[in-house]
Chain A
Amino acid sequence: NAGVTQTPKFQVLKTGQSMTLQCAQDMNHEYMSWYRQDPGMGLRLIHYSVGAGITDQGEVPNGYNVSRSTTEDFPLRLLSAAPSQTSVYFCASSYLRVFMNTEAFFGQGTRLTVV
């Protein structure tokens, strides 16, 4: 059981380049999300999805796109990388229950540097 798998682990981009961070989970979780973690800022929610075909914005969505074509995969796209997007990115997944929260499982993170 792999859990949540993120690739790549490290990436350096030039300003203006685009790229996709991959996230896959094998726990049949309905809910998937992307966070970025910056020093002194904690984890901030970028986008999330409650199921295939359904996505929504979190706290800091600008400059990022997501899609959810399958239950397993939730890629994050940087459209035109900027130095402000230098951060550590985490993908997380969890079961979705209507009236309660459930534990989120995190991937190992992607350290992205934009120069």
Chain B
Amino acid sequence: EDKVVQSPLSLVVHEGDTVTLNCSYEVTNFRSLLWYKQEKKAPTFLFMLTSSGIEKKSGRLSSILDKKELSSILNITATQTGDSAIYLCAFGGTGNQFYFGTGTSLTVIP
């Protein structure tokens, strides 16, 4: 059965800290790994990774995929209170179906 596991489930840090969120997957028809940020409402897209070892960056956020280890990490440097959210990872299978992990809840304290 295809599944996505995220760790940790929740994390509390202080502003300025660096955090690393983990996502591991077991899938049969892997096409891509996606990261989303969910604040109070809809998830918003952060990154899509399809090739192993290539880092995607957007400001203080970056992500890398390790296809050999079937995992991905999301790094956030110099965290701010606005980074507080649930971070979801999902793998994309055939036909654009996405399978989501349970998410990591990040709280950044001033």
Residues of A within 8 A of B (CB): 4, 31, 33, 35, 40-45, 48, 50, 58-59, 90, 94, 96-97, 99-109
Contacts and interface: CB of A to CB of B under 8 A. Distances in A.
15 contacts: A40-B102, A42-B102, A42-B103, A43-B90, A43-B98, A48-B96, A50-B96, A90-B43, A101-B34, A101-B48, A101-B50, A103-B48, A104-B98, A107-B42, A109-B41
A11 to B, nearest CB: 16
Given A100-B50, A106-B42, A108-B41, A45 B95 contact: no
Contacts of A40: 102
B31 interface: yes
Interface in B53-108: 88, 90, 92, 95-103
A7 B50 CA distance: 34
Contacts of B48: 101, 103
Given A31-B96, A41-B102, A109-B41, 9 more contacts: A4-B42, A31-B95, A42-B103, A44-B100, A58-B97, A100-B32, A101-B34, A101-B98, A106-B42
Contacts of B102: 40-42
Interface in B29-58: 31-32, 34, 41-45, 48, 50
Given A103-B45, A108-B41, A94 B96 contact: yes
A103 B44 CA distance: 10
Contacts of B96: 31, 48, 50, 94, 96-97, 101-102, 104
Contacts of B32: 100-101
A59 B4 CA distance: 14
Contacts of A99: 31
A104 B88 contact: no
A43 B100 contact: yes
Contacts of A58: 97
B41 A104 contact: no
A103 B35 CA distance: 10
